[in-house]
Chains A and B, each alone.
Chain A
């Protein structure tokens, strides 16, 4: 077995995932398997990482995000080629809350891509990695999953699903060699959130968020708030009584 890490990234074209991958290859060559929906964008990510780290082995796998048969097959193929050290499940998209309220299809799509799909991937990897009894599964949730609020509760509900699911998975694998990490980024300055900037949102840089994630995974932490201050903020937000909370414009 080589000493290089074998890392799978689902949703590898997301800005946070890409920045994590850049940090990983910066610290030494790795074997990367990048999953994504759009082959052209996936190739762009792979090329970029290849320039940064010519010694790394980088593979792209076009992926269906909701087709369970395709997910099983893709994961089978990956595992057949060797054990995995780390799976980062990073895909998602920030839906328009109003759109979700007026269009059930948009609502369902948002729930599926942000909640159901990450769970399906994690479950597929978990079953196979349990046999090897080693490695890490890291899921990107969101601070939005900690408490529903009117401005983005559909997204929040999907991320809440990921939170609860990760908890259960952590429980299931407690005391084994398999590690489960739940990552909760706060609002991050990515192309996905460009429109939030003007609403006074203080966005963390995607680089700083990625470096906290990479460090947190290295340290084997169960839950990573990135930036760390969101742990305190969300602790407060979770505990605001509903009578007060429901009057807040957030």
Chain B
């Protein structure tokens, strides 16, 4: 038994860790398991979706082999433990890119599918699952299910965003998207109200591939932020940035994120960027994955770890809900350096439990200050409920079951496809088993 934490470092419970290192043996390993297990990629989920205390954890990072890449069509076949970073580094110099990527490239293909992750270009490309053509799913009864948008589509839409609960994904085929190269033209635009944010979001949907914004979460009513957008450009801008890799060396005894540092950081960040708005050329790693240079930044929140609270609201209620949330958060004096606000396009989701839907999404980190933090979450939950929004399971460690049930109306349909030999802390918390 080994203590395992996810990205939020909220727990370090013992797990029976079994490395899946050989695709030919997944079947026998997972069907041999006496207790239910769960697949675990890079553990970049914040909460308990990738944890299974006292049970089996099938780590997938050994399943890191590429199977084929057709440079003419951009079709890539790989094992599920391959990192998005490795795909990007292989494909981008050859004119292809992952169409959708989350804010870190240190995640596995399996993790990207199971959470049906999104990026800064939902309006254009939807979610990760929208570009998956086929997956090989291995069930704990030994059955192998090949599925995709056309073959066994119901298995596919249960497994995309299926939180690892339908089987272990062994292999995936992904349709990459042509890109001009590793460079993007980017623009940073300061904004001073939510209305301005929505205006910028709307005007960026045509004309810009990627759009995201930082929002100052301590400013309360006076919402201000920085809108960042970018599009791939053909440019011979010189060599890529030198991989600077700083590591957060220790876990400080208390969170470095507190009332004092929060205000200072948010002010500083705002003014620093206010002074250099405008257009520039950026390398894709700098634009997409700004945090990947600081390894282990999650330790900054101290020994008790931190939560992320990410929710999405439909367009009708989005503006008011975001306003109400920011007000509550500022009032509580909680919040994070990196609060992210962005809009999702109006697209049919790839999976039964996919998180993204048309509207606006707000994501914030909160140091775990015990009951104080949970009190705030209850208020935020009320806003989500009222606004008919939902919370992202990939980031969640505490949402109440009823909120999950109303947020994900296709849940009962999904449950039909669950693998009885698979269970996670999250599934027990939100689905009862």
Option from B21, B23, B69 in Cβ contact (under 8 Å) with A51: B69
Q: List 28 A-B contacts (CB under 8 A).
A: A15-B62, A40-B24, A41-B22, A41-B24, A44-B65, A47-B66, A47-B67, A48-B65, A48-B66, A48-B67, A51-B66, A51-B67, A51-B69, A54-B71, A191-B19, A191-B21, A191-B62, A194-B18, A194-B19, A194-B59, A195-B2, A195-B17, A197-B2, A197-B17, A198-B2, A198-B3, A198-B14, A198-B17
CB-CB under 8 A from A198, the residues of chain B are: 1-3, 14, 17
Q: Is A117 an interface residue (CB 8 A)?
A: no
Which residue of chain B lies nearest to A197 when distances are taken between CB atoms in the complex?
B2
Q: How many residues of B contact A (CB 8 A)?
A: 20
Give CA–CA (A14, B272) in the complex, Å. 48
Distance in angstroms from B260 CB to nearest chain A CB is 33
Q: Is A45 an interface residue (CB 8 A)?
A: yes
Q: Is B206 an interface residue (CB 8 A)?
A: no
Q: Is A164 an interface residue (CB 8 A)?
A: no
Residues in chain B within 8 A of chain A (CB atoms)? 1-3, 14, 17-19, 21-24, 59, 62, 65-69, 71, 90
Give CA–CA (A48, B78) in the complex, Å. 9
B68 touches A51 (CB 8 A): yes
Contact with B along A19-56 (1 / 0, CB 8 A): 00000000000000000000011001101100110100
Give CA–CA (A40, B24) in the complex, Å. 9
User: Helix, strand, loop or mixed for chain B's interface?
Assistant: strand
A47 touches B68 (CB 8 A): yes
Q: Among residues 51 to 110 in chain A, which have CB atoms less than 8 Å away from a CB atom of chain B?
A: 51-52, 54
CB-CB under 8 A from B71, the residues of chain A are: 54
Distance in angstroms from B66 CB to nearest chain A CB is 4
7 nearest CB pairs, A to B: A198-B2, A191-B21, A194-B19, A51-B66, A48-B65, A191-B62, A191-B19
Known: A47-B65, A48-B67, A194-B17. 8 other contacts (CB 8 A): A15-B62, A44-B65, A47-B66, A48-B65, A52-B66, A191-B21, A194-B18, A194-B59
CB-CB under 8 A from B90, the residues of chain A are: 51-52
Which residue of chain A lies nearest to B15 when distances are taken between CB atoms in the complex?
A198
Which residue of chain B lies nearest to A13 when distances are taken between CB atoms in the complex?
B22
CB-CB under 8 A from A41, the residues of chain B are: 22, 24
Distance in angstroms from B333 CB to nearest chain A CB is 37
CB-CB under 8 A from A51, the residues of chain B are: 66-69, 90
Contact with B along A176-206 (1 / 0, CB 8 A): 0000000000000011001101100000000
CB-CB under 8 A from A44, the residues of chain B are: 23, 65
Which residue of chain A lies nearest to B22 when distances are taken between CB atoms in the complex?
A41
Distance in angstroms from B71 CB to nearest chain A CB is 8
Give CA–CA (A52, B89) in the complex, Å. 10
Which residue of chain B lies nearest to A196 when distances are taken between CB atoms in the complex?
B2
CB-CB under 8 A from B23, the residues of chain A are: 44
Distance in angstroms from A198 CB to nearest chain B CB is 3
Which residue of chain A lies nearest to B71 when distances are taken between CB atoms in the complex?
A54
CB-CB under 8 A from A40, the residues of chain B are: 24
Interface centre among A40, A52, A54 (most CB of B within 10 A): A52
Which residue of chain A lies nearest to B2 when distances are taken between CB atoms in the complex?
A198
Q: Among residues 146 to 174 in chain A, which have CB atoms less than 8 Å away from a CB atom of chain B?
A: none
Interface centre among B14, B24, B71 (most CB of A within 10 A): B24
Give CA–CA (A52, B69) in the complex, Å. 9
CB-CB under 8 A from B1, the residues of chain A are: 198
Give CA–CA (A15, B24) in the complex, Å. 16
Distance in angstroms from B347 CB to nearest chain A CB is 31
Which residue of chain B lies nearest to A193 when distances are taken between CB atoms in the complex?
B19
Give CA–CA (A157, B421) in the complex, Å. 41
A45 touches B19 (CB 8 A): no
Contact with B along A94-136 (1 / 0, CB 8 A): 0000000000000000000000000000000000000000000
